[in-house]
Structure 1
């Protein structure tokens, strides 16, 4: 993958509830390395799993993601993951752009975040009606941060 350029927005709960949306997919994410400027993440979504390496800060970060067998991911989770999160992800196309909306569960329940991946940091796009305040530069909203300082503690 190389470079991921991603912007994040809080989601208005009432507008989200009223929105037409597809079925979401439950995900479990855990962190093998969870440092301020780099992470190694393990994600299990149904019978598909990924190992992801990220580094950097801000909206442009290096990202390398590899699909791995789900049974191996389950074992890696058991042996190496210390912190994690659970969420349901929805994929929604709005104004010809793909949005990923994460509805968090567990200690992060009540938090809904929308993400959009861009081709460059200055790319223009239209916000969906349920997208609110931008939080791209607030590190608290990184999934890796939520795994150690969950939303319920804010």
Structure 2
């Protein structure tokens, strides 16, 4: 089992985000279960994956495997109507990278930043840059699996 250790923040609308490479992401959820369990497929540019996650909060179980374009296309219809579309900008932050997501469609106007860590101590020691907004790591309504079925962005 892999473990994802991640903190998530809102990014204020209209605030300047530093430059970094961007990619387009389309992801859909095959299963959204209790206690943070999920199975999703993702297309990020021309890479495809199947990811299973379990748990909530700072540290979660995570298993990811690559898919072919054909496998992704076969699974994609099963994700209707639990999908999100976003542009991800990768912004270097010293030893870390912020994945800044700008959501599209019904979630337009929502921007978040996620930072992954190697261990809980590194996560606790992290000081967010001034362009980050409030931390939302523990807000279930801002988890991607919940956003995939939301009719509009949650309120800050």
| TM-score, normalised with respect to structure 1 | 0.90
Residue 49 of structure 2 corresponds to 50
How many residues get paired? 151
RMSD: 1.6
SS for the counterpart of 1:77 is: helix
SS for the counterpart of 1:25 is: strand
Residue 34 of structure 1 corresponds to 32
Q: Distance in 1 between matches of 2:70 and 2:129?
A: 37
From the superposition, tell whether residues 127 and 153 of structure 1 become closer, same or farther in structure 2 (CA, over 3 Å). closer
Q: Distance in 1 between matches of 2:73 and 2:145?
A: 19
Structure 1 regions of 5+ residues with no counterpart? none
- 8 Å Cα contact 1:41-1:51 kept in structure 2: yes
Larger strand percent:
1
Summarize the alignment of residues 86-125 of structure 1 with structure 2, pairs less than 5 Å apart. 86-123=85-122, 124-125=125-126
Detail structure 1 runs of 4+ shifted over 3 Å in the superposition: 150-154
SS for the counterpart of 1:14 is: coil
What's the offset of the Cα at 1:71? 2.4
| TM-score, normalised with respect to structure 2 | 0.89
What's the offset of the Cα at 1:127? 1.4
